[in-house]
Structure 1
Amino acid sequence: MPIQGLAPSTTPITPAHFDIEKVIRPNILALHPYRCARDDYQEGILLDANENALGHSIPRSSNQIQQELSSTLDADLNRYPDPSHDQIKSRIASLRSLPGTDHVFLGVGSDEVIDLLMRICVTPVNEKILITPPTYGMYSVCAQVNDIGIVRCNLNLSGSKGEGGEHGRFSLLVDDIKAAVSADPSIKLIFLCSPGNPSGTLISLAAVKAILDYEPFKGIVVVDEAYIDFSGEGSSAVSLIKDYANLCVMQTLSKSFGLAAIRLGVALAQPPLIQVLTNTKAPYNISTPSAQLALAALSEEAIQNMRLKCQTLVESRKQLQKSLESLSALGVGDAIGGNDANFLMVPILNKDSRVPDNARANGVYTELAENKGVVVRFRGKEAGCEGCLRITIGTSEENAALLEQLRSALSEY
């Protein structure tokens, strides 16, 4: 089996007795790596990766913050980082109303947390995870890397357009999940993305509790809350941690905090699971520069700035949704899902049949990126997302440019 992404070579391999494809594990050779629009397009108005378009919230004028940041270059960069970063954990515990640092784990982005959870909980070959498509692609990638099975229980794909809540489109089908775990006791982790990516729909706490309380399931429920700060008050499953040892909530500084570049993910859970994660991680996984920036971003003033930027993006999301409705005649359908994150997902419709059209949507996506200077994300191959483009909420100027260029692309394609 050829190595994915490697171009065929006419150069003879030496020594002749060596064949790398016979050394690499078969599950890795078969792996299709996670791909994003940024793999193909790195320039223009970037509305593809759900970054915070308003930037980070670290105040530039605060003397205390400036001292913390300037100390990065004054730090002993020849020394390994603090292995525990208790000050960062303390600020996160306070922000999320948890008892203390023993409820907080820090990872290199949420992806390290995902990988560690699989490595510590799921036995390769013999055990499985459960995911709920459409969902974040790294769950499947990490599962294949770790050589573990995947059980898929789709979200509700037939709910009303634009409707969220417990019974709307992309809500959790609790009975289906219960049936799956009852039928297969090898399932050790259930990954729930809330708000979902790419659905943008918040999963109700009642639905999460129903899974946590289901006695036949002996594993851990992982709630991925990368976009939780764009949702309403009381939306987070962190409030359930005190009552459920079988719950792990993942969060990140990449989205609402606008710090995607520093790669800091967070796991929140009761101390036993946090301790096992800590025992398993690499010794110095969070770099000193990343830690300094995270500490600054978790100051009281910076958190206030973050919340204000989230409010601005939520209002911009509502306005952009209304503006996209004005393109209905050109084939833009109503935004689908609960729209609880910093992006919208809209179907592109066939000109004649007025049904979601993957070919046209992919053509519009390519036209925008290659000729219009606007990069969004084509999601039409995901379950329940036929013909859909996922559009990150940008600045007011970026949103205006998106609308102008999308109108042009739809007229031409």
Structure 2
Amino acid sequence: MHVLGLDPSLYPAKPAHFDLEQVIRPNILALHPYRCARDDYSQGILLDANENALGHSIPCHSQTQDASAALGKELEPTLKLDLHRYPSPTHDPIKSRIADLRKLPGIEYVFLGVGSDEVIDLLMRVCVAPGREKVMTTPPTYGMYSVCAHVNDVGIVQVPLELSGINGEGGETGRFSLKIPEIKKKIDADPSIKLIFLCSPGNPSGTLISLSAIRSLLEYEKFKGIVVVDEAYIDFASDDASAASLVTEYGNICVVQTLSKGFGLAAIRLGIAMAHPALIQVLTNTKAPYNISTPTASLALAALSPEAVAAVRKKVATLIESRAWLLRALASLPPGNLGPAIGGNDANFVLVPVLEKGGSGRPDSVRAQRIAKTLAEEEGVVLRFRGHEPGCEGCLRITVGSSEENETVVAKLREVFQRT
């Protein structure tokens, strides 16, 4: 059995121990994808998809004298799109801009999803047999891996990240790292593990996983599955940090990205998978026919223009500077309240432990939760409590905001620490 729609000459050649057909579930390999109307024709008198030929009925600002019925002028570009037509099933122009941005050979290496969550869920559905096979995660990590696994009746093997380098209040920042020997040991003991999810930079750890560590897993002969590298925050790391550079070399890696973070487009729900064309073809065969809406596609294409990408880089640079300011400001708060930030600080957030009162220097999850609740309900400042995750006892995750927001959160923390 082979991947439908894929030329046999395009099967992955490296690493030698990897066989895609042994990773993909047999029912997915046998799947004949739904062929939608726009797969064949997208121009002409389109009477093949049972669309409303008279168009949508939302009044534009320029089409009505009734100001109460008309929508704002800012919506007119969206309303002028062909909203009564089904969207493109492929969105090749978007894929082309992503391929150029991430230095990939072409659109055949790119898949689009409804946020990265759809990509994560789809990978589990095509690769992991419910009730029999498993995925591996490295907590603390993104919670949707576990949620998707439970939804799909997939087992979870965990190898927690190793936290080292914390010397107490005012000491060296703690760092998270992969336990590569432990991961390989788990793989050796359990051949049913089909996917390894690595979050890089990590959420909530901020950890950037080195390409050498990822290579060591890709080349490990006893692992026959796929390494999934979730790079939602990669735009806040160094330019050469992305594992997308490995996609043309290895067939057993899938790099997941999004326009939600660095591009500031969380509301449009546009996720990206970059992988060998063979895996991209499998995902394409399995996805819903029209998963990316026309408004989302229009905004994504504009966001990936050269002018917009240049603006993204300027904003990212500003946020990185603000991240450094926030770390310094948090460290200057009265002693005995916050420990040094932990993690790699390679994302648009910082992770800081709240300490016990009394000067013990130990993190205190109860106090951290109380402070987060007080800030949200009494001060209007919302932070994320992460203290129940491995290695994150007592921790609050603070997103880097605007300069004004950063100054406010530091001031409010100072006030709340005085009374909590």
Superposition TM-score, scaled by structure 1 size: 0.81
Corresponding residue for residue 380 of structure 1: 387
Corresponding residue for residue 122 of structure 1: 128
Corresponding residue for residue 209 of structure 1: 215
SS in 2 for 1:117: helix
1:330/1:407 contact within 8 Å kept: no
Shift of 1:70: 5.7
Alignment CA distance shift 1:141-1:98 (3 Å): same
Q: Which moved more, 1:213-222 or 1:319-328?
A: 319-328
CA–CA distance in structure 2, aligned partners of residues 182 and 307 of structure 1: 42
CA–CA distance in structure 1, aligned partners of residues 367 and 361 of structure 2: 11
Letter aligned with residue 126 of structure 2: I
2:136/2:195 contact within 8 Å kept: yes
Alignment CA distance shift 1:328-1:215 (3 Å): farther
Corresponding residue for residue 80 of structure 1: 86
2:99/2:110 contact within 8 Å kept: yes
| Cα displacement string for residues 156-211 of structure 1 (whole angstroms, at most 9, x for unaligned residues) | 123446878xxx72111111111111110000000000000000110111110000
Letter aligned with residue 381 of structure 1: H
Larger radius of gyration: 2
Q: Which moved more, 1:232-241 or 1:376-385?
A: 232-241
2:172/2:340 contact within 8 Å kept: no
- The answer to whether 1:279 aligns with 2:279 is no
Letter aligned with residue 203 of structure 1: I
Corresponding residue for residue 248 of structure 1: 254
Corresponding residue for residue 146 of structure 1: 152
- The answer to whether 1:362 aligns with 2:359 is no
SS in 2 for 1:235: coil
Q: Which structure carries more relative contact order (alpha carbon 8 Å, separation 6+)?
A: 1
Counterpart mapping for 1:177-326 below 5 A: 177-326=183-332
SS in 2 for 1:350: coil
CA–CA distance in structure 2, aligned partners of residues 296 and 355 of structure 1: 48
SS in 2 for 1:391: strand
CA–CA distance in structure 2, aligned partners of residues 284 and 215 of structure 1: 38
- The answer to whether 1:96 aligns with 2:105 is no
1:105/1:267 contact within 8 Å kept: yes
SS in 2 for 1:346: strand
2:336/2:361 contact within 8 Å kept: no
Q: What percentage of residue pairs aligned between the two structures are identical?
A: 65
SS in 2 for 1:334: coil
Task: Choose which of 389, 394, 419 in structure 2 pairs with 1:412.
Answer: 419
SS in 2 for 1:190: strand
SS in 1 for 2:363: coil
CA–CA distance in structure 2, aligned partners of residues 399 and 218 of structure 1: 45
Shift of 1:72: 3.0
2:336/2:356 contact within 8 Å kept: no
2:334/2:414 contact within 8 Å kept: no
Task: Choose which of 318, 341, 364 in structure 1 pairs with 2:347.
Answer: 341
1:157/1:383 contact within 8 Å kept: no
Superposition TM-score, scaled by structure 2 size: 0.80
SS in 2 for 1:157: strand
SS in 1 for 2:340: coil
Corresponding residue for residue 176 of structure 1: 182
- The answer to whether 1:112 aligns with 2:118 is yes
Task: Choose which of 391, 395, 399 in structure 2 pairs with 1:392.
Answer: 399
In structure 2, list runs of 5 or more residues that go unmatched: 1-74
